[in-house]
Amino acid sequence: MHTINNENYRFQKIITAAGIMLLVIKFVAWYMTGSVAILTDAMESIVNVISGFIGLYSLYLSALPRDKNHPYGHGKVEFISAFIEGGLITVAGIIIIYEAVGNLRNNTEIIQIDFGIYLVAFTALINYLLGYFAIKKGRKNHSLALIASGKHLQTDTYSTLGIILGLIIIQFTRIYWLDAVIALIFSGIIIYTGYKIIRTAISGIMDETDDKLLNEVVDLLNKERSINWIDLHNLRIIKYGSTLHFDCHMTVPWYFNIKEGHNEVDKLEDIVKEYFGDRVEFFVHLDACKDYSCRICAKTDCPVRQHSFIKKIDWTPENICKNEKHIVNGSESE
């Protein structure tokens, strides 16, 4: 049986357990005050708990090693988990709108407001801290599921702060419909956050290019490029949960033997892994240089040069991803 020894998984357990505790506290606050706004906050916490268990299971699956049926591992499940969580956040926002509109119509009186404020403020503090550390740990360990959980918790905090603000105003003014208005405002924030999480998840499922990641890689390769890397092209970076699958074509001098060629591949792997950690796996296809490669080859000790060096090609996110070798005609690069 597979044993999970994963920092993300352990932290998700804490999030799930805390979510259950905070859910109970919010329902107590609703029962004591009769505030529909607090009830909507408690209903959103139900989503937190469900999302916590979904995130827990997705982190368990993503930590499993690759197998015959999943040659790239199980990391994609984190995108599915984030998609479901984003959907649940959006639904929670819609429910809050529904409940807030009903409260606005009825103008329901709220009792023991100060008691409700204390309890809800405590849950907001715990939620924010959990969300902050979840996002920090998720970014450190490149876990979309943990980042999604953290954003959800912090969004829950913002909506809770809106409810606290409404309760404080109501306590002094006795204008009970104000808390419904505050809830409506923050429901929009909740729905927008859910949309962003769904959008990120879909882009991961569809292997959409991560422009920020691509720019980081290209900058690194330009900075650390070897004189023997005559060209790099057809670069693709695909995310599988916390794992990055990196493949490209590398042009090296045609007279290199197999060992010399693979030494250059090893250099590339070492540079990228030093920057991104061991979460990167590689597939690098070696190409032999052609006579036209001389014009972009800055290698000064080449014994078989056919043409004079004209210019070095600076790799960009646009040209390094094309499935074609770079060439120079005269003074123009392609």
Question: Could you report the per-residue pLDDT of 13-59, keeping only the tens digit for each?
Answer: 888 888 899 999 999 998 888 787 787 788 778 877 887 787 777 77
Residue 329's nearest CA partner among 298, 280, 294 is 294
DSSP state at residue 322: S
**Alpha carbon 324 to its chain's center:** 31
pLDDT on residue 108? 66
Which is the CATH superfamily of the domain at 1-206?
Answer: Cation efflux protein transmembrane domain (1.20.1510.10)
Above pLDDT 90, what percent of the chain? 33
| Rounded Cα–Cα distance for residues 88 and 152 (Å) | 10
Give tens-digit pLDDT for 150-180.
887 887 788 788 778 888 888 888 887 887 7
Nearest to residue 43, comparing CAs of 125, 5, 99, 113? 99
Across the range 233-241, mean pLDDT stands at 86
In the chain, % helix, strand, coil (3-state, to 5) comes to 65, 10, 25
Q: Mean pLDDT over residues 122-131, rounded?
A: 93
**pLDDT score for 159:** 76
Q: Quick check: 281 pLDDT over 80? A: yes
Round to whole Å and give the CA distance between 208 and 198.
13
Could you tell me the fold of the domain covering 211-321? Alpha-Beta Plaits (3.30.70)
Question: Which pLDDT value is given to residue 283?
Answer: 92
Statement: residue 3 has pLDDT above 60: no
HSE, side-chain direction, 13 A CA sphere, residue 309: 13
Tell the burial category of 32 from Cβ atoms under 10 Å away from its Cβ (0-12, 13-18, 19+).
middle
Q: How would you class 67 by CB atoms within 10 Å of its CB: exposed for 0-12, middle for 13-18, buried for 19 or more? A: exposed
User: Does 2 have pLDDT greater than 60?
Assistant: no
Q: Is the dihedral of CA 317, 322, 326, 331 positive or negative?
A: negative
- Rounded Cα distance between 119 and 28, Å, is 9
Topology alike, domains 1-206 and 211-321: no
- Residue 261 confidence (pLDDT) above 90: yes
The residues, ordered by sequence, that sit 6+ positions from 2 with a Cβ below 8 Å of its Cβ are 63, 64, 65
Domain boundaries, the chain: 1-206, 211-321
